[in-house]
Amino acid sequence: MMKKISFISVVLAAILVIVVSGFSSLQKAAETAIDLEKVSLPGATVLAFGPDNVLFVGDSKAAVVHAIPTASQPLKDPVPFNFMDFDLKLAEVLQIDARDLIINDMKIHPVSQEAYFAIKKGHAPDAPSMIAIVSPTDGEIRFLEVTASNSTKSVIKNPASDDLKFWRDIPASTLTITDIDYHDGFIYVAGLSNGEFASTLRKIAYPFTTAQEAIKSLEVYHAVHTQMETRAPIRTMAITAVAGEPTLIASYTCTPLVSVPLSQIGEGNVIKGKTIAELGYGNTPIDMITYWTQEQDGSMDQKLLITHKHRSGSLIAMKDINKAVTEGKGMEGMMAQMPTGTAGMKITYSPTASVLHIDNQNQMMVATLKRNLETGGLDMVSELKGAFLRLSEFISEYDFPSYQYDEKQAATKQFHDMVKPMEGYPELVSEKTKE
Amino acid sequence: MFRNQLYLGFLLALQVSCIPEKAVPKTIALYPTSDTLPENLLRCYVQFSHPMKAVDNLENIKLIDENNTVVKGAIFNNVYELWDAEQQQLTLILDPARVKTGLSAHEHIGSALVTGKSYRLVIEKMETVNHLEVKRFEKQFFVVPSDTIAPSMAHWNLQFPQVGSRDTLRISFRESIDRMSLYHSLTIADSDETVIKGSIEIGAKEKEWKFTPIEKWKKGSYKIHVNTRFADPSGNNLNGLFDHKIGSLKYEKEGERIEIPFSL
């Protein structure tokens, strides 16, 4: 407990200093002319950061993964995002109506803590897409130059149309890249086709080689108790060590959570993944992140958070995943014990139902792009890991000026005093804490 | 002044009434076109007349049962909607968790479609890329038992063309085939493996594939290339059933190519 409080205190002091000086220039969104030729791609949908701060951009329209170097100043302090109505500001910079702005993905730069967005300017099939960048320190919006001479790319083959020469009036088979993850010299690319329903996971060596042979397509399947195969695509995934072995944790289109040792993924391999949990009916997973958190007893614990389109997020302890992968038999024999739709391990719900995109921002915060249910706008805001909520979104008895925290609520008070400046309300921190 | 306004109003009304039929955005078709569909239906395609806004549409597409109740969670709500490159065809997936045996949703909620019942698929409030609202569309259909027979080439009926003609090569099937499979899983090549260019037409209820070449058929040997991903609307393909036991697939790898040789 003491350990936790001391950690919080240090962070709190840092935030108080930063917040007072920050956000003064938030209003002055970049109004410089945008050179579309330098910043636009046909259809950027998915982003992932790789080694040496390279940004992987999955372009579904062009069936290409770009690797674009990014240069950024390190930001060591935990500066929170407090960018309300981000979509309106971005639309203003692009000189379009906010309803014509599409935000496909968001990732946080591992060094600068800037948010990178894959966006599309307009709904037309040929509307340009771009990578917008916003910094937590000044809120200014800029666009990534995608034509940099040192960027490279890899073409994704679409097996559904390999043999086909297109003729007029034939609906094109498209492959939508749904997730990209980098691990140890390879990117893993998941995709969904509009013309078939099968696993499409590709492993591509990075740095990219010129030959297309570097692209390996493979089929993933997993078993449930009936030993039925799931011919289904991966929706979102994360790569993390499970019992010391690099493992792909994948969420399927039809809700199972599956583990596949990375060592099994290779050219032509038929992979038997293991179903380790079911996330329940009606889930549409969006993002998957892992992070370390400090437990009540001071120990560090790794968590896996999966956010969903219309539901609360699923928060799972990695030690439970380790156990399911190494000891358990996956879902075998567990079907009869499945009364509520989720099963396999303890799944805690996180209040992330309005979160469109989430990523690790720093050791203590996640950055989220979330729908503000009151204004209808998209807010780019940081939240504390574990809490996954904004105190300022709720009015409770704590908020009345006359409220007095008693001694038993020391930890609650400390949490509130830490979160208030983080959310842009440093003046509400109690005088004692400020001292 | 008033007269001018009246005149302008008249011109405007005339212009509105003279908008050609093609300019009014609408839903052209919903595939499969059959009015009886299997309980384990996996995939549908909606064809629009205009390029459509490709986000936030799935809430506007509803499956409604005989009691006029919306069947919740029937259509899988993708994060990225599956459109073709022109944004005129949208792929709908019926929640595979409810279709597949052994998964929690199937065991506890069951299939979204129930044999012997009628349903309506209603599409409304969808917009073109320019925010023009598309007219409400409705398709009524009756549900028949699950399709648990994988497509088989043994049941194909082939009709070959005459040399020197631009006759249509026809393949007819016993059952309805997935629309995209008909466009993308069958091609014809000559003895040099050069793909023959031509146009594809799909027969009624997606039970026939009709290929008409651009150039006349020459004497020689040809092959029909068939991708084993060739599927029916329930996702059963030439390699096996969508919902199959491990080890029961014909080929270890999906997407193998099978060849049907023929000579003219």
Nearest partner of B167 among B186, B182, B194, B188, judged by Cα: B188
pLDDT of residue A344: 61
Peptide bond into A42 cis (omega under 30): no
- Of B193 and B22, more confident: B193
Mutation target for B interface from A99, A170, A254, A276: give the one with most B CBs within 10 A. A254
Q: Residue B200 is nearest to which of A170, A280, A335, comparing CB atoms?
A: A170
Do the beta carbons of residue B64 and residue B122 sit within 8 Å? yes
pLDDT digits (tens, 9 = 90+) for A330-355: 544 343 334 344 556 788 888 887 89
Q: Answer yes or no: is pLDDT of B146 > 90.
A: yes
Q: Residue B77 is nearest to which of A160, A164, A284, comparing CB atoms?
A: A284
Does the CB of A280 have a partner CB in chain B at under 8 Å? yes
- The dihedral built from the CA positions of residue A19, A21, A27 and A29, taken in this order, carries a sign that is negative
Residue A361 CA to its chain's centroid (Å): 10
- Of B80 and A124, more confident: A124
Nearest partner of A356 among B126, B58, B79, B61, judged by Cα: B79
Do the beta carbons of residue B101 and residue B243 sit within 8 Å? yes
Nearest partner of A142 among A56, A32, A263, judged by Cα: A32
Q: Answer yes or no: is pLDDT of B189 > 50.
A: yes
Do the beta carbons of residue A271 and residue A265 sit within 8 Å? yes
ipTM above 0.95, yes or no: no
| pLDDT mean over B48-71 | 94
Strand B137-144 to strand B157-159: parallel, antiparallel, or no bridges (unpaired)? unpaired
Q: Classify A382 as helix, strand or coil.
A: strand
Which of A138-147, A386-395, B109-118, B168-177 is modeled with the greatest confidence? B168-177
For the stretch A48-87, what's the b/e string if a residue is b when 16 or more beta carbons lie within 10 angstroms of its beta carbon? Answer: bbbeeebbbbbbbbbbbbbbbebeeeebeebbbbbbbbbb
For the stretch A366-379, what's the b/e string if a residue is b when 16 or more beta carbons lie within 10 angstroms of its beta carbon? Answer: bbbbbebeeeeebb
pLDDT of residue B243: 79
Mutation target for A interface from B104, B210, B227: give the one with most A CBs within 10 A. B104
The first and second tokens of residue A195, run together, are 């013309």
Does the CB of A173 have a partner CB in chain B at under 8 Å? yes
- Of A252 and B138, more confident: B138
CA distance A184 to B28: 48
pLDDT digits (tens, 9 = 90+) for A231-258: 778 888 999 999 889 999 988 877 778 8
Residue entry with tokens 């006029």? B68
pLDDT of residue A191: 86
B130 contacts on A by Cβ (under 8 Å)? 123
CB contact under 8 A, A196 and B96: no
CB contact under 8 A, B96 and A226: no
pLDDT digits (tens, 9 = 90+) for B216-261: 999 999 999 999 989 999 999 998 888 777 667 787 777 788 999 9
Q: Answer yes or no: is pLDDT of B27 > 70.
A: yes
Does the CB of A382 have a partner CB in chain B at under 8 Å? no
* Neighbouring C-alpha atoms within 13 Å toward the C-beta of B84: 23
pLDDT of residue B63: 95
Residue entry with tokens 């807010």? A379
A125 contacts on B by Cβ (under 8 Å)? 51, 85-87, 129
Residue B169 CA to its chain's centroid (Å): 21
